[in-house]
Amino acid sequence: MSSINKVQDEIVEEFELFDDWMDRYEHIIEFSKEVPQIEEELKTEANLVKGCQSNVWLAPEMKGEKLFFKADSDAVITRGIVGLLIKILSGHKPEEIAQADLYALDKIGLKEHLSPNRANGLSSMITMMKAYAKATA
Amino acid sequence: MIAKTSNITFDVEAVRSEFPVLDRVIYENKPLVYFDSAASSQKPRIVANTVRDYYLNEHANIHRGVHFLSQEATNKYEEARKKVRDFINAAYDEEIIFTSGTTDGINLIAATFDKVHIKKGDEVIVTGMEHHSNLVPWQMMCERSGAVLKFVPVSDEGELILEEYEALLNDKTKLVAVSHVSNTLGTINPVAEMIKSAHGVGAQVLVDGAQSVPHMKIDVRDLDCDYYVFSGHKMYGPTGVGILYGKKELLNELPPYKGGGEMIKTVTLEKSTYNELPHKFEAGTPNIAGGIGLGAAIDFMLREDLTDAAEHENRVLEYCENRLQEEFSDIKIIGQAKEKTGAVSFLLGDIHPYDVGVLLDRLGIAVRTGHHCTQPLMNRFDITGTVRASFGMYNTTQEVDALIEGLKRAEKMLS
C-alpha cells in the first residue's frame, strides 16, 4: 500500500469512531488547528484559490525529494478539510501526489465539500496540489 | 409591554400541509427547516399537480394549432397570463410578457432599451444594493451604448439614501433600475416615490420585484412603474418562468429581443415583420407548463388573504431578529431598515458564514451563506458575506427557535 493510502485509511478509521455528524465536524475543526500555516506574505493573489463561499491559500515547498504544502482558509471548516488534504498529500514524492486517488473524504462522507458546486475553493485546491506535483515530478 | 393582539385568520399549519417537503426529515433524524425561500420557495401541491396534469393529459404546442389539445393548452396558457395581469393589476393582457425569470426580463429591457432611448452620455441609475442580475445587464448596456451608470448609495441601516438619488436625477437620466425588496437585506425600497421623481425628469423605471411579489400585494398601476419583473419560482411557482410587465406603449416602442417563431407576422428570406404584443417578445415555444404552473401559484397565493399572510411572515421575521439580538451578544444584523420583509442577514461575531451554514445544514436547517449575488453591497458593508435566513408564508416561529438553537451550537463549536 502506498504511504498516501495508509494515511487515508487511518483518517477513515478515525472518523468512523464518530456516529454523530456534529462530532465529525468537531473533529474537522480540530484538524483546522493543525494546518501547516502559510506565511502571511505568501497569501498572495497567485496563491489564492478563490471560492464563492470561502477562500483557500496554498503554497508548495520542495524539501529534498518530497513536496510539502502550507495553506490557510478564511472558514474554519474549509481549513479543517484543507488540513485533512494536507495530511494526506503533503510530504510525499511529487509523482505519488500526482497519481493519488483521494478516496478518504468520500468514505467519511465529506465528498460534497469537494464538489465544485460548493464553491469553497477545495475542489480547485486539489487541482492545484496535483498540478504542482505534476510540474515538479 | 402589551402584547400585540392580532385578529388575523391566517392558518400557518393549513398552509404547511400544502407543502409535503416541509414534513421531510433529513440526515437521518433532523426535521427540515427551510429558511431559503428568497433563493427559491417551496411548491404547494396545487402547483405540482397542475404541472403534472398538464404534462400527462393536456400537453400540446400552443398558438395557431387547429387541434383540440393545442387550443386547450393555448387557453390555459393565456388564462395564466390573465391571472398574472389581475394579480399585479396591469391594464392589459399584452402587458404581461412571459420570460424565463427575473434575469431574463431585465435582460430583455437592457438589450432593447438603448436602441431607442439611449445616446452617448445619457445616464442610467441603479442602486448599491442590486442583485447582480439587476446590475450586470445595465453595465453591458452602458458599455455598448456609451451611457453612464450612476449609483444610489446605501446607508449604514441598509436603506437607499434618497437625497442622493434625487441629486442624481437630471434630464440625461433615461432609466432607473431598482429592486423593490433587497434580496440580501430585506429592505423595502420606496419605489413609488422613486418612480415619481424619475418621471419628473422624463426617465423610465424598471422595478425588480423578485423579492417583493412573494411577500406583498403589487399594483403596477398604483406604483406607476414602467417595467416590473419577477420570477415564478420565488412565489411558489415553477422554475424557468417569470414575468416582465411593461406599459403597453413603452413595450411597443422597443424592438424585439429574440428572433424566431411566434414573434413574427410575415417572413420572407430577406426580411420579417414582427408580431404584436405580447408575442413580439415571446420567440419560440415558451415554457407552457411553467406558465400554467405560475397561474396555479397565483391561485394558491390568493386563497390566503395576502395582507394576513404578509403579517404572519413579518411576525416571523421580527421574532427572528429579536431572538438573534437577545441570544447572541455579538450578533450583527446587516440591514436594519425600518421597512423590511422576507429576509434577515447576519454575522455571528467573526465566525465565517460558510461555517455557520455547514453546521446548520447538518442540523437540518437550510440557510444561505455568501454574498447572495450582491458583491457591491458586501463591499459597502466591508464584509465578504452573510448568513441569510429568508421566509415564506409557511415558516413558523418554532422554526426560528430551531435556528437559534442551531446557531448556539454552531457558535460554541466555532469560537
* Substitution target from A77, A79, A114, A120 for chain B, most B beta carbons within 10 A: A77
Tens-digit pLDDT profile for residues B192-210: 999 999 999 999 999 999 9
Tens-digit pLDDT profile for residues B103-137: 999 999 999 999 999 999 999 999 999 999 999 99
**Closest C-alpha among B404, B354, B366 to residue A80:** B354
CATH code where residue B387 lies:
3.90.1150.10
- Per-residue pLDDT band at B40 (split at 50, 70, 90): very high
B20 and B95 share one domain: no
Give the per-residue pLDDT at A1. Answer: 67
B373 catalytically annotated:
yes
Determine phi and psi for B144, rounding to 5 degrees. Answer: -70, -40
Read off the pLDDT of each residue in B300-328 and give the average, rounded to a whole number: 97
B280 and B309 share one domain: no
Give the per-residue pLDDT at B4. Answer: 47
Q: Which amino acid is at B174?
A: K
Q: How far, CA to CA in Å, does A73 sit from each of A16, A29, A116, B50?
A: 25, 12, 16, 46
Determine phi and psi for B374, rounding to 5 degrees. Answer: -135, 60
B259 has a pLDDT exceeding 80: yes
B338 and B283 share one domain: no
Give the per-residue pLDDT at B1. Answer: 38
B285 and B148 share one domain: yes
B3 has a pLDDT exceeding 50: no
Give the per-residue pLDDT at B323. Answer: 98
Task: Inform me whether the C-beta atom of residue A102 falls under 8 Å from chain B C-beta atoms.
Answer: no
B177 and B325 share one domain: no
B264 and B391 share one domain: no
List residues of chain B with CB under 8 Å from any CB of chain A.
Answer: 27, 351-355, 357-359, 362-363, 369-371, 384-385, 409, 413-414
What is the secondary structure of B333-376 as a DSSP string? EE---SSB-SEEEEEETT--HHHHHHHHHHTTEE-EEE-TT-HH
Task: Give chain A's domain count.
Answer: 1
* B303, B322, B337 - which closes a domain: B303
How far, in Å, CA of B267 to CA of B278, rounded? 18
Chain A partners within 8 Å of B355 (Cβ)? 75-78
Instruction: Give me the residues paired with residue B274 across strands.
Output: B264
B8 has a pLDDT exceeding 80: no
The answer to whether the CB atoms of B363 and A22 lie below 8 A apart is yes
CATH code where residue A65 lies:
3.90.1010.10
Averaged confidence pLDDT in chain B: 96
Range of the domain at A107: 3-136
Q: Nearest CB to A25: which of B27, B353, B413?
A: B413
Instruction: Answer for the pair A38, A83: CB distance below 8 angstroms, yes or no.
Output: no
Determine phi and psi for B307, rounding to 5 degrees. Answer: -70, -40
How far, in Å, CA of B366 to CA of B360, rounded? 7
**Shortest Cα distance from B385 to chain A (angstroms)?**
8
**Shortest Cα distance from A20 to chain B (angstroms)?**
10
Chain A partners within 8 Å of B412 (Cβ)? none
Residues recorded for chain B:
415
**Closest C-alpha among B176, B170, B166 to residue B208:** B176
B76 has a pLDDT exceeding 50: yes
Task: Give chain B's domain count.
Answer: 2
Give the per-residue pLDDT at A52. Answer: 76
Instruction: Answer for the pair B413, A25: CB distance below 8 angstroms, yes or no.
Output: yes
B310 and B298 share one domain: no
Task: Inform me whether the C-beta atom of residue A53 falls under 8 Å from chain B C-beta atoms.
Answer: yes
Scanning B20-135, the segments in alpha helix (DSSP H) are 45-53, 68-88, 102-117
What does the block give as the cell for A39? 506565511
- Per-residue pLDDT band at B36 (split at 50, 70, 90): very high
B2 has a pLDDT exceeding 70: no
Q: Cell 420583509 sits at which residue?
A: B341
Read off the pLDDT of each residue in B255-272 and give the average, rounded to a whole number: 90
B277 and B362 share one domain: no
**Closest C-alpha among A88, A85, A92 to residue A136:** A92
Read off the pLDDT of each residue in B301-319 and give the average, rounded to a whole number: 96
Give the per-residue pLDDT at A6. Answer: 95
**Closest C-alpha among B359, B353, B317 to residue B335:** B317
B147 in a structural domain: yes
Range of the domain at B391: 12-31+305-414
Give the per-residue pLDDT at A117. Answer: 72
| Percentage with pLDDT > 90 across chain B | 93
Read off the pLDDT of each residue in B365-383 and give the average, rounded to a whole number: 97
B100 has a pLDDT exceeding 60: yes
What does the block give as the cell for B151? 449609483
Cβ-Cβ contacts under 8 Å between A and B: the total is 43
B70 and B118 share one domain: yes
Read off the pLDDT of each residue in A53-62 and give the average, rounded to a whole number: 92
